[in-house]
Amino acid sequence: MSSSSRHRSAYEASHATFRQPSYDCRELPDAVSIVVYVPGVGASGVEIEAYGPDLVITARKTRFVRVNWQALNLEGSQRDYRLRLRLGLGFEFSQMQADIGDGVLTLTVPKRQVLLEPAGRLRGVA
């Protein structure tokens, strides 16, 4: 098996274990607000990572194993959530605020402040 086909099969296997949650993004004057719907997920099951311009949210459901457990083909609904958003480099991911309650994860990511030159200074343009 070549390395590219191994990489592809590993990606497909990991991709199959997650499903994309429903979400809503709203731009605010100084931030962006992201609401992600992840029913069955508690605060301890949420991982938020920033990779350059990408924000990756992984939300794992709490698993309960019952004494009288039987397989009911619920594998599709029991998958965890993963959402990858390309927001860009104009955000301060380190200043992000997150809150979760009743399966609704709310993120607020502030925008980076752009430093402008003082109005009284003139730049020489050649």
- Asked, for residue 42, whether it belongs to a domain, the answer is yes
Q: What is the mean pLDDT of residues 26-51?
A: 95
- Give residue 110's pLDDT: 97
What is the pTM for the complete model shown?
0.71
pLDDT at 78 exceeding the cut of 80: no
Residue 25: give the domain boundaries: 20-110
Q: What is the four-CA torsion angle of 3, 11, 65, 98, rounded to 10 degrees? A: 130
Number of domains observed in the structure of the chain: 1
Percent over 90 (pLDDT), the chain:
60
Residue at 71 is within a domain? yes
List the 31-37 sheet strands across, edge first: 22-27, 31-37, 104-110, 97-101
Check whether 58 has a pLDDT greater than 80: yes
